[in-house]
Chains A and B, each alone.
Chain A
Amino acid sequence: MASKFWTQGGSDTEEEETDIEDEIENGGAGETTAAAAGSRYLQTNASDSDDSDGQKRVVRSAKDKRFEEMASTVDQMKNAMKINDWVSLQESFDKINKQLEKVMRVTESDRVPNLYIKCLVMLEDFLAEALANKEAKKKMSSSNHKALNAMKQKLKKNNKQYEELINKYRENPESEEEKFEDEDEDEDEDESGSELEDPSQIAAESSDEDDEGEDVDDDDADGAWEKKLSKKEKLMDREFKKDPSEITWDTVNKKFKEVVAARGRKGTGKFEQVEQLTFLTKVAKTPAQKLEILFSVISAQFDVNPGLSGHMPINVWKKCVQNMLVILDILVQYPNIVVDDMVEPDENETQKGADYDGTIRVWGNLVAFLERIDNEFFKSLQCIDPHTREYVERLRDEPLFLVLAQNVQEYLERIGDLKSAAKVALRRVELVYYKPQEVYDAMRQLAVLSEDGEKDGDETKVEETRGTSAFVVTPELVSRKLTFPENSRALMDILVTLIYKSGDERTKARAMLCDIYHHALFDEFSIARDLLLMSHLQDTIQHMDVSTQILFNRAMAQVGLCAFRVGLIAEGHGCLSELYSGGRVKELLAQGVSQSRYHEKTPEQERLERRRQMPYHMHINLELLEAVHLICAMLLEVPNMAANSLDAKRKVISKTFRRLLEVSERQPFTGPPENVRDHVMAATRALCKGDFQKAFDVINSLDVWKLLRNRESVLEMLKAKIKEEALRTYLFTYCFSYDTLGLDQLTKMFDLSDAQIHSIVSKMLVNEELHASWDQPTRCIIFHDVEYSRLQALAFQLTEKLSILAESNERAVEARFGGGGLDLPLRRRDNQEYAAGTAGGGGGRWPDLSYNQGRQGSSGRAAYTGGGRPLALGQASRDRSSQSRGTGGYSGRAGSGMRGYQMDASARMVSLSRGVRG
């Protein structure tokens, strides 16, 4: 992947560069400012000419070489000083003395170079300082200490020779260097200043940097060679600027190559390079060249990024986007230019001018750039504190990116690269999918507003740039304006359709998940569910990358919320239960790091996890999610508990809920509810008694409901559900105490209409949850006492146990003989572990499960409560065997075994009775 390439490149160069920066900063501080600047100057010089070796030969005088060597030695010494390493300092000192001899020989003068004197002074000061610091001296290692003493002797002896010069230097350190050092100093300032500078100045600077390497050899004056050079540089530069006609494609190309080659090397400032390249774009001769340079500008801008975890400075990011737009302008203007990252284009491809007819190939990858820009945007949102104004400001840049993405996508569609277009479309989808209509509208408005506001600013900027560059004018062909459909659904539809048509697997899967999320957000549960089930994503999600798994979890959470909003409690619970089963919701949704008591994470894992986090504005409210999950669980579990009060462990719908309930029951004193859990637990207690009003009041007092759009209707629905479940719970709990129960009584108690109660009770009768019948004339429910006996209950339990045993036996046999049998559970288990490990887990088969659960539960319940009927036992086992795979044989066996037993018993009876008779 291209994006991978970029990130790697970034990290490589970044480290080196920070090193250098440190060095510069430290060197610049304190008394050796001038020296540092000087040496650095020489150093850049050195590296520049080194670099150019590969491309063209630069003849350098021996003298220069010597000077460079010396400068580098001085640098080494400085480094040694910094870490107080006297051993290497001593070595360097010996080296510099040797070099001095060479320099003297080459320059054929008896004048000792300033650099050397400066170095001596520096050493002397440092030595004095070191000697003065007794503490540090004591701490030194023995070898270091020895070296220090030796150095003291040597320096004393050595300095005697140059006493005069040193004194002179000490008296007036500037006088010697001023002349040639001032150039560098102001260059320094420029650098440390901001990147928002007058372009002309940047130009001056960059070119004088570039040209040094070539120009050095022209000088041969002894002492003041540097000074001369810089003057000449300036002259050159001015010429460069003033005589546009003289600048040829060749010169620009040459410089461009040079600058690009310097990328990632020591001593190349990141900002500097960007500026140099930016300048070059202005003097580019052909559109293709400009394009090429622009690509490099963007790569250089990516390099500015301080680290993998940090994000790109925002202003650089914005510039980057602008550059991308310019690229698009060029591409639109000259349709014969083709951007490609597969073939290495011809060296002089970009020479072909605007009037060239054939296709011009330029190296570059628009999609990779775009994805990188998006990633940087995402990262910046991760890093910025969401509660600050800065975050909001940053969010406002989103339309900017959307414009760019839209344009890139249009361009790609036009040139027929639909695969890449799908990728870009996915990026757009990922920015839109989580936005409810209100947010979407707000973003549209913001986009329109900011467009109006920026119009003027843009124009002036364009004017400015035009002032300096007149070679290749790129009119703004690509629109800078967003063209959003009114409805976010419409936008999603367009994008998603494109992706489904031409995206690759991962892109499609992600787009599908975004689509599901978006549908769920708009309360279209059935569509979301159908999409989810049709796509079979839950089967394959474990094999996807972590971020897609997170997206899947998010989508599931949203589908769950949606199901709740539309009143489908069981479905909602099915979607959410697995998320909450592990107690790692935060981690699964990438909305925060949850601490695990049992295993420590390595810093590496932690960093990875932090990089996966969702930005704050994309979060799904966890309190709401928890409330919805627990309420769903409550509505399902409370009547279930009441129905199976005999053995509570038997049918557990929500383990999480049961556990919470146990914990809350164990409390000696229950205070007023504080958090979501307490509220739901309080409601549960009320509901268990059939007190729906209290239950609803408690739930209603939660303040997460204000996060819902259609709060009123949802609460209305909730109230109806609570009433219904309260009625069911009441009937389950107290049916033993009644012979008959009047309908009017129930309507009064539960504030439900006759029809509602009639339908609920009838449903229970049909499901055989309640053994009763309606007596229409008296409007009563007549309960039948068909409680199965304890022995029967135990028999059921036993059959269940037996079937479990048989199944595991079968599996064991399979493992022994079938070979493949063992692999299957193994693999599944491994997958689960993997999923847990990658925090994306959870997912997998659970939606599948959830949809089954309802069915399974009800059928199980039917079989269970149908104990009164003689067939029930066989039925139950048959039910189970049809659910469990391949146990058909077992149920048959059980049946025959039973029959056999009965026959046996009867046979014995006969024989016994015969015996009696006998």
Chain B
Amino acid sequence: MASSMARSFLQVAATEEVASPLRVVQIEGLVILKIIKHCKEFSPALVTGQLLGLDVGSVLEVTNCFPFPIREEDEEIEADGANYQLEMMRCLREVNVDNNTVGWYQSTILGSYQTVELIETFMNYQENIRRCVCIIYDPSRSNQGVLALKALKLSDSFMELYRANNFTGEKLREKNLSWVDIFEEIPIQVSNSALISAFMTELESDTPVKQCDYDRLQLSTKPYMERNVEFLIECMDDLSMEQQKFQFYYRSLSRQQAQQQAWLQKRRTENMARKAAGEEPLPEEDPSNPIFKPIPEPSRLESFLVTNQIANYCNQINGVAGQNFNRLYLMKSLHDN
């Protein structure tokens, strides 16, 4: 009996594992406010914090969070950071708050978050908790009157590849993975308790235009655009560098192939001669020969990330420029009136 019980538990666990991919991230309003507060206070420095919550089916509920202290580049302090995290969790547990880690949040500048570090952190989290999410908040973008909040996770196929640490062109083709498929954005749902909603409704004034809407009409988007273009230029440089790496690789590869061909040709003629002389032919493979040592193919991860970033900047520019046009037309018509 007990054994069948255990088996059924296992079965249950197994079925749960395959079922329900993450569909929605549900965040408490309080958590968002905490994140915004933390990130805005420290902007332009980048900060991170822990997300706590529950994993319920295809919904990941984020019910609480706490900020990490700003890390300094020192191992001792880093250890302190880990200690802080554990201590914090313990304390939260004691006051009976959700203390189940579901991911982390971090601030970013102009959406330049696609880095190897983020992927590494994500992989770290992923090892410990099955469902994990990274929430990214961009304070500079929020200045424009948008809530720049994003929930991200790495795609499964990418994680698989990353674990194998194999980003050659062949593998990527096999997996049919392109740069778009690295990150998956998960829709965010903000949920508040009924009490809070009621309270908010109570507070809400009658005028439709609220304070934050003035932000939306701000006309000076130039610095923002400039920064974006600057970053874009940097990305271009990075991309060119990656491309150069590849060019170099292909060049050395073709050279090596030519060498191999020449060697093989020589070996064949030699074998012909040996055959004619009635001797054993020499093997056509010579692993000890340095020209047969495969040249490592440069990883494509970096260029994928750069491409992602570029796409991000482009989107931002697109969006901002589009909005700007609207405002300008609005202003123009206002003037005309």
Contacts and interface: CB of A to CB of B under 8 A. Distances in A.
Interface string B223-236: 00110011011001
Contacts, number: 62
A901 B225 CA distance: 16
B253 to A, nearest CB: 10
Given A791-B225, A798-B233, A804-B240, A905 B246 contact: no
A22 to B, nearest CB: 46
A815 B252 CA distance: 13
Q: Tell me whether chain A's interface is mostly helix, strand or loop, or mixed.
A: helix
B329 interface: yes
Given A812-B246, A905-B321, A912 B326 contact: yes
A824 to B, nearest CB: 12
A698 to B, nearest CB: 39
Contact of A794 (B229, B237, B250, B321): B229
A905 B322 contact: yes
Given A905-B325, A909-B325, A909-B329, A794 B233 contact: yes
Interface string B44-70: 000000000000000000000000000
A822 B233 contact: no
Contact of B243 (A794, A809, A816, A912): A809
B326 A794 contact: no
A791 B229 contact: yes
Contact of A808 (B225, B247, B318, B326): B247
Interface string B208-244: 0000000000000010011001101100110110011
A826 B230 contact: no
A804 B244 CA distance: 11
A139 interface: no
A790 interface: yes
B226 A794 contact: yes
A794 B227 CA distance: 10
Contacts of A822: 250-251, 254
A897 to B, nearest CB: 11
Contacts of B329: 909, 913
Nearest to B236: A801
Interface in B283-317: none
Contacts of B254: 815, 822, 826
B232 A798 contact: yes
Contacts of B240: 801, 804-805, 808
A797 B233 contact: yes
Contact of A812 (B236, B239, B243, B318): B243
A263 B236 CA distance: 72
B321 A801 contact: no
A802 interface: yes
A905 B232 CA distance: 20
Contact of A801 (B222, B226, B233, B251): B233
A326 to B, nearest CB: 56
A801 B322 CA distance: 24
Interface string B80-120: 00000000000000000000000000000000000000000
Contacts of A791: 222, 225-226, 229
A912 B246 CA distance: 43
Contact of B247 (A794, A812, A908): A812
B236 A798 contact: yes
A601 B251 CA distance: 28
A106 interface: no
Contacts of A795: 229
Contact of A913 (B225, B230, B321, B326): B326
A795 B329 CA distance: 23
Contacts of A909: 322, 325-326, 329
Contact size range, B? 20 to 34
Nearest to A822: B254
Contacts of A912: 322, 326
A822 B253 CA distance: 12
Contacts of B236: 798, 801-802, 805
A817 to B, nearest CB: 12
B226 A790 contact: yes
A288 to B, nearest CB: 53
A826 B251 CA distance: 8
Interface in A879-918: 901, 904-906, 908-909, 912-913
A812 B250 contact: yes
A787 to B, nearest CB: 14
Most buried by B among A794, A797, A822, A913: A794
B243 A798 contact: no
Nearest to B225: A791
A913 B322 CA distance: 12
A909 B329 CA distance: 9
Given A909-B322, A909-B325, A909-B326, A798 B251 contact: no
B222 to A, nearest CB: 6
A790 to B, nearest CB: 6
Nearest to B323: A912
B264 to A, nearest CB: 20
Contacts of A905: 318, 321-322, 325
B146 to A, nearest CB: 14
Contacts of B246: 812
A789 B222 CA distance: 10
Contacts of B226: 790-791, 794
Given A801-B236, A909-B326, A808 B251 contact: no
A20 B254 CA distance: 55
Contacts of B225: 791
Nearest to A804: B240
B334 to A, nearest CB: 13
A908 B322 contact: yes
Contacts of B326: 909, 912-913
Contacts of A812: 243, 246-247, 250
A826 B255 CA distance: 10
- Which of A804, A809, A826, A909 is most buried by chain B, counting CB atoms within 10 A of its CB? A909
A588 to B, nearest CB: 27
A896 B313 CA distance: 20
Nearest to B254: A822
A346 B107 CA distance: 99
Contact of A815 (B244, B250, B325): B250
Interface string A57-82: 00000000000000000000000000
A789 B200 CA distance: 45
Interface string A25-59: 00000000000000000000000000000000000
Interface in A347-361: none
A805 B239 contact: yes
A797 B233 CA distance: 7
Contacts of A790: 222, 226
A909 B318 CA distance: 12
A363 B318 CA distance: 86
B101 to A, nearest CB: 40
Contacts of A809: 243
A526 B222 CA distance: 52
Interface string B318-337: 10011001100100000000
27 contacts: A790-B222, A790-B226, A791-B222, A791-B225, A794-B229, A794-B233, A795-B229, A798-B232, A798-B236, A801-B240, A805-B236, A808-B240, A808-B243, A809-B243, A811-B247, A812-B243, A812-B246, A812-B247, A822-B250, A826-B254, A901-B318, A904-B318, A905-B318, A905-B325, A909-B325, A913-B326, A913-B329
**Which 10 A-B pairs have CB atoms at the shortest separation, nearest pair first?**
A801-B236, A794-B229, A908-B322, A909-B325, A905-B322, A791-B226, A798-B233, A808-B243, A912-B326, A805-B240
Interface of B: 222, 225-226, 229-230, 232-233, 236-237, 239-240, 243-244, 246-247, 250-251, 254, 318, 321-322, 325-326, 329
Given A790-B222, A794-B226, A805-B236, 8 more contacts: A791-B229, A801-B236, A801-B240, A815-B254, A826-B251, A908-B322, A909-B326, A913-B326
